[in-house]
Structure 1
Amino acid sequence: MVICWKAWDARNREAHGEEGMRGRELWSWSKNYLDIFRSASTVPTILKNPPPRVHWIPPPDGTIKVNFDAALPPSLPHYRVAMVARDFKGIAIWWSVDMFLGTVQAVEGEAHAALKAIQKSKTKGWASVIIEGDCRQLISAIDDEDSTLCPIGAYVEDIRALMLSFNSCQFSFVPRNCNKLAHALANSIELANLEGPILPLKVAHIA
């Protein structure tokens, strides 16, 4: 079709005394035109869900990154929440594990862990923080202004109020494999209701 169209164009040009393409030149031009057309018409593949990062990433210099998690032991009347704070070199500068009586839904436990993480960050006087957790529902609720009526709305309101007291405070979702250290702390019953600036040897090696 492109060749026929260009041959028709060449015939019109010749009819008006101009020079038109013929033979191999006509074929070469038509092929090149078609290649350009196909290239311009191809829709690039867009990844709707880019692959998650697989490693924990340190924060920028001057910012503290705080990872949090909750552990809900089955058939036990308590749950634990944990946080670990690291600097731009990836060095753990603070951690804590708290145990609370009662049974809660997973997202409620995560919301409580997030609240404890931002409360302790405020107490420590860190002006700029990135707070990471592996509960997408919670992080979405914190970002959603209309989420205060959800089951974790009270936690979300308290978290948002505290966020205003920092120079910079950001909540981010990360996959579990980027939250392994906070997860290990939350699941360590020996560390319940403890905190400190130096991590126990048995969890210090976890990324």
Structure 2
Amino acid sequence: MQKQFLLPHQVIEFTENYLKSFKSQNSVTNIRLSSLNPQHWLCPPSATVKINCDGVVFEQGMEMGLGVIARDDQGRCLWWSSKRITRGGNGEIAEAMAVRHGLELGARLGWSSIIIESDCANLISKMMSPDHDMSFIGPIVADSRTLAASFQLCSFNLVPRYCNTVAHVLAKSAVGSLEGISNLPAGAADLVLADISTS
């Protein structure tokens, strides 16, 4: 059998068509971005879980803290996580890992409609971009997009730090890998109650 070779312009045409087809089949229509600018933390709509995520880098530079809290439409804590991991990197990597961790928790706990909130503008922008992210957090963003597509509805909100304080406290206070429904770490429980009173 004689081998057939493609001419350069045929290779280009094939590649362009393949990429166009790939993008159309992998466009995630159930992911949305909210442009809200809240003055305080807000409860999610009924039947939706809001997951606030935050990541910090500790002074040593080789450890990160990931904080995640999921709440219902009454502001009640459904699940929280405070996780310390050994990994070098900057704040953006920590933020990206926190969002991925929040999505993983949502998938593991079987929620179908979620809102992810973060105070990292660059990360939220990357999550919503249709382009392949070639930056150092690209692989984490790709994982998160895949996870987000598994939900019936997944929205991303960019919020000010003061709307993300519980997740921040959970990230800053991370000493191991703790999670649960109740027994929030010191300080976080009071902030949850404060959020309920203002939402």
TM bracket, shorter-chain basis: 0.7 to 0.9
Aligned to 1:177: 162
Q: What is the CA-CA distance between 1:140 and the residue it aligns to?
A: 0.2
Aligned to 1:115: 100
Kindly report which structure 2 residues correspond to 1:118-133, keeping only aligned pairs within 5 A, or say none: 118-133=103-118
Q: Deviations over 1:29-81 (max 9, x none)?
A: xxxxxxxxxxxxxxxxxxxxx99422000000000000000121112421111
Residues matched between the structures, number: 157
* Structure 1 moving runs of 4+ over 3 Å: none
Q: What is the CA-CA distance between 1:201 and the residue it aligns to?
A: 5.0
Q: Which runs of 5+ in 2 are unaligned?
A: 1-34
In structure 2, how many angstroms separate the alpha carbons of the residues matched to 1:135 and 1:201? 24
In structure 1, how many angstroms separate the alpha carbons of the residues matched to 2:36 and 2:77? 27
In structure 2, how many angstroms separate the alpha carbons of the residues matched to 1:113 and 1:87? 19
Q: What SS class does the counterpart of residue 67 from structure 1 fall into?
A: strand
Which of these two proteins has the greater Rg computed from alpha carbons? 1
Aligned to 1:9: none
Q: Which range is displaced more, 74-83 or 113-122?
A: 74-83
Could you tell me which of 136, 142, 146 is aligned with 2:131? 146
2:177 pairs with 1:193: yes
Letter in 2 for 1:193: S
Q: Deviations over 1:113-148 (max 9, x none)?
A: 110100110000000000000000000000111242
2:49 pairs with 1:70: no
> Percent identity of the aligned residues?
36
In structure 2, how many angstroms separate the alpha carbons of the residues matched to 1:150 and 1:189? 27
Is the 2:66–2:174 Cα contact (8 Å) retained in structure 1?
Answer: no
Structure with the larger RCO, 1 or 2 (CA within 8 Å, 6+ apart): 2
In structure 2, how many angstroms separate the alpha carbons of the residues matched to 1:170 and 1:189? 26
Q: Deviations over 1:167-201 (max 9, x none)?
A: 101111100000000001111144x3100001245
